[in-house]
Amino acid sequence: MHQLLEEIFGSELIAIIIASSLPLIFITVLVIFAVLLERKVAGHMQDRLGPMRVGYHGILQTIADFFKLIQKEDIVADTTDKRFFNLAPVLVFAGSYAAYAALPFSSAYIGSRIDLGLFYIVAISSLVVAGILMAGWSSNNKYSLLGAMRSAAQIVSYEIPTVLVILSMVMISANFTVDGKGTLSLMEISEIQTSSFWNWFVLGGAGFSLSKFLLLPFTMAAFLIFLISSLAEVNRTPFDMPEAESELVAGYHTEYSGMKFAMFFLAEYANMFAVSAIAAAIFFGGYQSPIGYLGNSLGIEWLVPIEQFFWFSVKGVFFVFVQMWLRWTLPRVRVDQLMTICWKYLIPYAFVNLTIIGIISLI
């Protein structure tokens, strides 16, 4: 992909700039689609219809909303800390956008082929926390500050089970690499789970060995833990205390309006897809097709990466849908319940899971 761009434009710099802005286009399209999906899912789960008036069954609703948002007046309250108030949405979006650098969209396109992909994503998402704290503090509003504090505490806490689960999956990946070393690269992890859904990590990894069947229940548990803690990491219901409309108005983005609010919104949906894509990559084969490629059987080579991109998006969007599904199923938990779930349940389970997976991988 990168080479192709370089050949087309004849300059490394332009190729880099274009390659790095591709996920932005993806995010924009995705958000337009995901917001509509969210509203439609919400509607139909409550036996309503959702937006219906803009376009056929409201498919252009998000675009209309987007134009509404960019027309809006940019209101900055008088006592806010202007510099950081303006910087915070950028930082939050930068944090969630940076995660896309290590997501393998297909075998032909990944922002950066660093070997520490997963580790990088976990680390860079702390920029989001800093941005949220900045937004909450600079708004000079008690609800915003409370929301920001809650959000930061929540994300920092839930990073632990997430990382433990990721660690256990990386340990499993060591069973399947050529040199016996585990890998942190999402690309390599996806490559391992190739050719069939039977090889997915959620089903214990490739092959028919005994260890696969021993691992199977524990990888499934790992997936559940990851799903729950990733929900908390992106502040989705049932863990959406930071932006609880009914108690904190809207948490850290209470004071934001217009395009700055849109940035937060964009970042939230970008984050949703990012964690979904990670879940898809480490448990469900990433961009690998579960049933084989049309391009391979037809002998058209360039079709394969496009198919891979398709599968990656489908898996990602499916987990985004699961997040929405959970949102309209579960009520919001209390702050103490949130911490109980994390520290008393998820972390012990993740630890035990990690140990067991480690032992099984050794034998």
Partner 1 sequence: MKQYLLNTWEALSTIFIGMKITFGHLFVPAVTIQYPDVRVRLPERVRNRLYVNMDDCIGCLQCARACPVDCIDIETVKSLPTEDLGKTSNGKKKALWVTKFDIDIAKCCYCQLCVFPCPTECIYMTDVYEFSEFGRNDLVYKFATLTNEEAKEKAAQYDVFMEEKERQKAEAAKAKAEAAEKAKKEKENEENKEDNKDK
Partner 2 sequence: MTIYDIIFYLFAAITVLSAFLVVTAKNIVHSAFYLLFTFFGVAGLYVLLGADFIAIVQIMVYVGGILILLLFGVMLTNKITSVEIKSGTIHVLPAVIGLGLFAAFVLSTMMTTKWKSNPAELPFTTVYDLGYILINEYVLIFELLGILLLIALIGAASIARKDKE
Binding site for partner 1 (CB under 8 A): 41, 43-49, 52, 224, 325-326, 328-330, 345, 349
CB-nearer residue toward partner 2: 324 or 357: 357
> Largest Cα–Cα distance of the chain, in whole Å?
66
Distances (CA, A) of 112 to 115, 256, 313: 9, 33, 18
Choosing among partner 1, partner 2, none, which partner's interface includes residue 42 (Cβ < 5 to 8 Å by kind)? none
Smallest distance from the beta carbon of 72 to partner 1, in angstroms?
A: 24
Q: Which does 48 bind (CB under 5 to 8 A by kind): partner 2, partner 1, none?
A: partner 1
Least distance to partner 1 from the beta carbon of 247, Å? 22
Are the beta carbons of 92 and 126 closer than 8 angstroms? Answer: no
Q: 359 contacts which partner out of partner 2, partner 1, none, CB within 5 to 8 A by kind?
A: none
Q: How far is the CB of 208 from partner 1 (least distance, A)?
A: 29
124 binds, among partner 2, partner 1, none (CB under 5 to 8 A by kind): partner 2
CB atoms within 10 A of CB 293: 18
Q: Output the six-digit token pair for 107.
A: 């075998």
For residue 129, the partner it binds in partner 2, partner 1, none, with Cβ less than 5 to 8 A by kind, is: partner 2
**Residues 218, 202: Cα–Cα separation, whole Å:** 9
How far apart are alpha carbons 274 and 203 in whole angstroms? 22
State how far the Cα of 342 lies from the Cα of 336, in Å rounded to an integer. 10
84 is an interface residue for partner 2 by CB under 8 A: yes
Nearer to partner 2, 137 or 269 (CB): 137
Say how far apart CA 188 and CA 206 lie, in whole Å.
14
Gap between the Cα atoms of 187 and 199, Å rounded? 15
Buried b (16+ CB within 10 A) or exposed e, 300-330: eeeebbebbbebbbebbbebbeebbebbeee
Q: Where are the alpha helices (DSSP H) in the chain?
A: 2-9, 12-45, 61-71, 82-99, 117-124, 126-138, 142-173, 186-192, 210-233, 245-248, 258-283, 294-298, 303-327, 335-340, 347-362
Q: Do the Cβ atoms of 277 and 283 come closer than 8 Å?
A: no
Contact 270, 97 (CB under 8 A): yes
Whose Cβ is closer to partner 2: residue 16's or residue 294's? Answer: 16
Residue 222: partners with Cβ closer than 8 Å, 6 or more residues away: 165, 168, 169, 283, 350, 353, 357
Q: Which is nearer to partner 1, 46 or 296 (CB)?
A: 46
Q: Minimum Å distance from CB 199 to partner 1? A: 26
Q: Name the binder of 74 from partner 2, partner 1, none, CB < 5-8 A by kind.
A: none
Q: Which does 349 bind (CB under 5 to 8 A by kind): partner 2, partner 1, none?
A: partner 1
Q: Rounded to the nearest whole angstrom, what is the least distance from the CB of residue 197 to partner 1 in the complex?
A: 21
Residues that contact partner 2, how many (by CB under 8 A): 31
What mask of x and - would describe binding to partner 2 in positions 15 to 54, judged by CB under 8 A? -x--------------------------------------
Give the nearer residue to partner 2 in terms of CB position, either 129 or 320: 129
Contact positions with partner 2 (CB under 8 A) in 106-165: 114-116, 119-120, 122-127, 129-130, 133-134, 137, 142, 145, 149, 152-153, 156, 159
Question: Counting beta carbons within 10 angstroms of the beta carbon of residue 158, is it exposed (0 to 12), middle (13 to 18) or buried (19 or more)?
Answer: buried
Question: Which one, 18 or 52, has the nearer CB to partner 1?
Answer: 52
Query: Residue 328 or 351: which CB sits closer to partner 1?
Result: 328
Binding positions for partner 2, rule: CB under 8 A? 12-13, 16, 81, 84, 114-116, 119-120, 122-127, 129-130, 133-134, 137, 142, 145, 149, 152-153, 156, 159, 181-182, 184
